[in-house]
Structure 1
Amino acid sequence: MYDIIGYCEAETVSEATALLAQNPNLRLIAGGTDVLIKMHGGQIEAAELLSLRKIKSLAEIRKAEDGTVVIGAMATFTKVFNDPILREVIPILTEAAISMGGPQIRNIATIGGNVCNGATSADSASSLFALNAQLKLVSQQGERLVPIREFYLGPGQVALKPGEILTEIHISSDDYQGFGGQYIKFAMREAMDIATLAVSVVCKLHGKTFEEVRIGLGVAGPTPLRCLEAEVYASGKDVSEETVAEIGKLAVNSAKARTSWRASKDYREHLVEELVQRALKTAIVNAGGEQLV
């Protein structure tokens, strides 16, 4: 059963924030693939829903004059995957998008809803972490930009204040220009499965050394995370098998893996070490470097 006691739709962001200010009990619904499942399972009762599906501006993907890529929170995963801007400059995000669910789900699930659900297994999360994404949050009191690493507070918990709506995801040109990347989703099935581990790696090279490496992990802890110790180690190091192997080992230190019905803690840590190396080797080639044997 879907225990819906009220439903309204907004056609603009200002209308949506006004409705939220008037009724703090309203629960936002985008594609509905998360909210409706929770309602069906009894996790949400007596729901008053505010739909954002008619706010067309929130589905846009564009590049700003300063090169910042702006992704509307209501952009579906199908739109993210097919967008020519993202395919050209941030392909790891399109790789993450196509890994999410099946075609029917991708046609309605939104990237904003995926982020706001607060799940460590969110298919977009590890890539957005590696890309230093910032989230534009809007309310009647104004707007603010929040780094995505500060947005996830715990399992299913995010830093949305009462009355706020996630409207856009911003990725600065400094965080994607000159970088090569790779996304790997490891799951028990080849399709339509929740990740056992998700790894996103981006790197920029200076000749035959690493100028910068960023590593985002999903399902390696209660929230998505970055492997900061491994990233610091990588800076200025030679691009070599030995360096990549050490980066993989250090990445495990940042993981907060636990045993679940999908995998044991030890197995997840093994996956972190192995998949970070695999992703980084491909990212090196995508950044213009030579393939490591």
Structure 2
Amino acid sequence: MYDIKALYEAENISHAIQLLEKHPAAQIIAGGSDVLVQIREGKRAGAELVSIYGLEELRGVCLEQDDTLRIGSLTSFSHITRDPLIQRIIPVLGEAVDMVGGPQIRNIGTIGGNTCNGVTSADSASTLFAWDAVIELTGPEGSRRIPIQEFYIRAGKVDLRPAEIQTGILIQKKSYEGYAGHYIKYAMRNAMDIAALGCSVNVKLTADKKSIEDVRIAYGVAGPVPMRAVHAEEAGRGKKITEDSIERVSEAVLEDIMPRDSWRASKAFREHISKVLCKRALKEAILRAGYTELKTEHTDSLHVGTAYRGGEQG
């Protein structure tokens, strides 16, 4: 069933790097929820694998000395959803990864594997883009940290150098303090489906809770890689919270996104729902941030297949 040439099991991070240097054609395997499926389908027949699944030092969530939130790359989706630090600091990430596949996938799948795949539909990716996440990579030349926007190069391609592994995902205090967020995944089914579009929005309100001090809007499946809607963000910063200002932000996303036609959804449909999801996610994020005078609408022009956590399902 599985055409595997060899499987090497790493004992620690240094050993994993040594194995990758010795076997340059080898593929890293963590949870295996993607790699093993690809091997079974014949896409990676005869593969050499370096397993890092046993490296406990790459699991868990903690705060570093400067209050940077650190998520080990082997942390499972289920762990992230339940983790007290995630629930207290960035609960929207737990909500987003709770939409990945079914319970079995969430128990075995890792956030590092989800981001290293380089696919634009990854539920964690757009949310991490909205949090200005930083990716930590460790290889023969030591460790380096790069913004997640630079980690994604093109569809299916990330900035992993030879013999290098992703060891952590970092979110700085300045990126999460005072922010509240919401993620919406639109899919044809309410469960166990790849997103036709995903939208994640974070907002920071002014002290009087009447205006948007900062907003970050990110999309998955709106282009070949996850992306930030920079024009829409600019349209929202410093604006008083009104229905009109929220509408202008949602309209501005069309200046940023680059969706395509596919069997899951047409380009025109993705453009339409990108505005709808932005509006809904922005409203919910504003409410979570402490504003109390907005009406939420879950009926405007979007009727089937919407998957929510922290909101509704319809």
- Normalised-by-shorter TM-score class: over 0.9
Q: Once the two structures are superposed, what CA deviation does each residue of 1:181-224 show, in whole Å capped at 9, x if it has no partner?
A: 10111111111111111110000011311110000100111110
**In structure 1, what is the equivalent of residue 307 of structure 2?**
none
Within 5 Å, give how 1:63-82 maps onto structure 2.
Answer: 63-82=63-82
**In structure 2, what is the equivalent of residue 114 of structure 1?**
114
**In structure 1, what is the equivalent of residue 264 of structure 2?**
262
Taking the aligned partners of 1:125 and 1:289, their CA distance within structure 2 comes to 27
Residue among 278, 281, 286 paired with 1:284: 286
Quote the offset at 1:291 in angstroms. 3.6
SS of structure 1 residue aligned to 2:67:
coil
Within 5 Å, give how 1:22-61 maps onto structure 2.
Answer: 22-61=22-61
Contact kept in structure 2, 1:211 and 1:236, CA below 8 Å: yes
SS of structure 2 residue aligned to 1:124:
helix
Taking the aligned partners of 2:253 and 2:89, their CA distance within structure 1 comes to 26
Residue among 238, 248, 251 paired with 1:249: 251
Within 5 Å, give how 1:110-259 maps onto structure 2.
Answer: 110-206=110-206, 207=208, 208-259=210-261
SS of structure 1 residue aligned to 2:123:
coil
Q: Once the two structures are superposed, what CA deviation does each residue of 1:69-101 show, in whole Å capped at 9, x if it has no partner?
A: 100000010111111100111011001111010
Taking the aligned partners of 2:203 and 2:133, their CA distance within structure 1 comes to 16
Structure 2, unaligned stretches of length 5 or more? 296-314
Taking the aligned partners of 2:31 and 2:248, their CA distance within structure 1 comes to 41
Contact kept in structure 2, 1:127 and 1:216, CA below 8 Å: yes
Q: Once the two structures are superposed, what CA deviation does each residue of 1:224-272 show, in whole Å capped at 9, x if it has no partner?
A: 0000011112111111111110100101221110110011101001110
Q: Once the two structures are superposed, what CA deviation does each residue of 1:45-78 show, in whole Å capped at 9, x if it has no partner?
A: 2210000111001012111121111000000101
SS of structure 2 residue aligned to 1:200:
strand
Taking the aligned partners of 1:19 and 1:8, their CA distance within structure 2 comes to 7
Contact kept in structure 2, 1:281 and 1:291, CA below 8 Å: no
Ranges of 4+ aligned residues in structure 1 off by more than 6 Å: none
CA-based RMSD: 0.9
Name the amino acid aligned to 1:257.
P
TM-score (norm: length of structure 1): 0.98
Name the amino acid aligned to 1:190.
N
**In structure 1, what is the equivalent of residue 302 of structure 2?**
none
SS of structure 1 residue aligned to 2:203:
strand
Distance 1:251 1:126, change over 3 A: same
Taking the aligned partners of 1:167 and 1:224, their CA distance within structure 2 comes to 20
Taking the aligned partners of 1:292 and 1:286, their CA distance within structure 2 comes to 11
Contact kept in structure 2, 1:284 and 1:291, CA below 8 Å: no
SS of structure 1 residue aligned to 2:241:
coil
Q: Percent identity?
A: 47
Structure 1, unaligned stretches of length 5 or more? none
